[in-house]
Structure 1
Amino acid sequence: MTWRSICAAALVAAAGAATAADAPRLKPFVLASRGAGEVPAAAAAVKAKLSAAGFELVGEYAPYDGAVVLAVTSADLRAAAAQNRFGGYGAAQRVSVTKVSDEVQVAYTNPVYMAAAYRMKADLSPVAAALGSALGRLEEFGPGDGRTAKDLRGYHYTLGMPYFDEPWKLGAFASQADAIAAVEAGLAAGRGGTRKVYRIDLPGADESVFGVALSDGCGGDGSVMREIDFKPLRSTGHLPYELVVSKGQVLALHAKFRIAVNFPDLSMMGSHSFMNIRCAPDSIEGALRKVVGR
Structure 2
Amino acid sequence: MTKTIAALLSATVLIFSGCGSSTGPEVAKTGYEGKKINTYLQGLHVDVDTAKSKLEAAGFEIVATYTPVKGGTTVIFTNSELKAEAAKPKRAQAAILRLFIDDKEKTISFNNPVYFGKAYMQGEYNHAVFNAQLEKINAAFPDLKPSVDVWDFDALATYHFMVSMPYFEDTDLLGEGTNEELLAKANAYKKGKLKIFQMKLSDNSYLLGYELGSRTSKFTSKIGRANAGLLPWTIVIEDGKATALSAKYHIAISYPLLDMSGFMGIMTVPGAVVNDLQKTFK
After TM superposition, the score normalised by the length of structure 2 is 0.82
Per-residue deviation at 1:183?
Answer: 1.6
> Where does residue 95 of structure 1 map in the other structure?
99
CA contact (8 A) 2:179 2:241 kept: yes
Aligned equivalents of 1:99, 1:23: Cα separation in 2: 36
CA contact (8 A) 2:33 2:153 kept: no
Aligned equivalents of 1:287, 1:142: Cα separation in 2: 31
Alignment of 1:76-95 (within 5 A): 76-82=81-87, 84-95=88-99
> Which of these residues, 219, 223, 230, is aligned with residue 224 of structure 1?
219
Of 114-123 and 158-167, deviating more is 114-123
Matched, 1:139 2:142: no
Q: Deviations over 1:84-118 (max 9, x none)?
A: 322111101011110244xx212211111111111
CA contact (8 A) 2:186 2:195 kept: no
Q: Deviations over 1:129-184 (max 9, x none)?
A: 112212235222142xx2233201000111221111111111111x2222222222
CA contact (8 A) 1:97 1:107 kept: yes
**Cα gap change, 1:106/1:216 in structure 2, threshold over 3 Å: closer, same or farther?**
closer
Alignment of 1:252-271 (within 5 A): 252-269=244-261
> Which of these residues, 204, 207, 212, is aligned with residue 205 of structure 2?
207
Matched, 1:282 2:271: yes
Per-residue deviation at 1:256?
Answer: 0.5
Alignment of 1:60-139 (within 5 A): 60-82=65-87, 84-101=88-105, 104-120=106-122, 121=124, 122-123=126-127, 124-139=130-145
Find the residue that maps to 1:114 and give its secondary structure: helix
Aligned equivalents of 2:228, 2:143: Cα separation in 1: 17
Aligned equivalents of 1:22, 1:117: Cα separation in 2: 14
Aligned equivalents of 1:137, 1:206: Cα separation in 2: 40
> Where does residue 5 of structure 1 map in the other structure?
none
CA contact (8 A) 1:71 1:93 kept: yes
> Which of these residues, 221, 230, 250, is aligned with residue 238 of structure 1?
230
**Cα gap change, 1:224/1:126 in structure 2, threshold over 3 Å: closer, same or farther?**
same
Per-residue deviation at 1:187?
Answer: 5.8
**Cα gap change, 1:205/1:153 in structure 2, threshold over 3 Å: closer, same or farther?**
farther
> Where does residue 3 of structure 1 map in the other structure?
none
Opposite residue 216 of structure 1, the aligned amino acid is S
CA contact (8 A) 1:188 1:196 kept: no
CA contact (8 A) 1:186 1:291 kept: yes
Aligned equivalents of 1:133, 1:188: Cα separation in 2: 40
Aligned equivalents of 1:178, 1:142: Cα separation in 2: 43
Q: Deviations over 1:233-280 (max 9, x none)?
A: x223222211000111100011111000111221112xxx11111111
> Where does residue 34 of structure 1 map in the other structure?
44
> Where does residue 6 of structure 1 map in the other structure?
none
**Cα gap change, 1:57/1:22 in structure 2, threshold over 3 Å: closer, same or farther?**
closer
Q: Deviations over 1:43-86 (max 9, x none)?
A: 1100111111111111111122210111101111101212x322
CA contact (8 A) 2:94 2:121 kept: no
> Which of these residues, 177, 180, 198, is aligned with residue 183 of structure 2?
180
CA contact (8 A) 1:176 1:206 kept: yes
**Cα gap change, 1:165/1:45 in structure 2, threshold over 3 Å: closer, same or farther?**
same
After TM superposition, the score normalised by the length of structure 1 is 0.79
CA contact (8 A) 2:196 2:208 kept: yes
**Which structure: larger Rg?**
1
CA contact (8 A) 2:172 2:245 kept: yes
Runs of 4+ off more than 3 Å: 19-22, 187-190
Matched, 1:152 2:156: yes
Opposite residue 97 of structure 1, the aligned amino acid is I
**Cα gap change, 1:55/1:181 in structure 2, threshold over 3 Å: closer, same or farther?**
same
Aligned equivalents of 2:234, 2:72: Cα separation in 1: 19
Of 62-71 and 114-123, deviating more is 114-123
Aligned equivalents of 1:187, 1:85: Cα separation in 2: 29
Per-residue deviation at 1:24?
Answer: 3.2
- Unpaired runs of 5+ residues, structure 1, are 1-15, 36-40
Find the residue that maps to 1:214 and give its secondary structure: coil
Aligned equivalents of 1:22, 1:119: Cα separation in 2: 16
Percent of aligned pairs with the same amino acid? 25
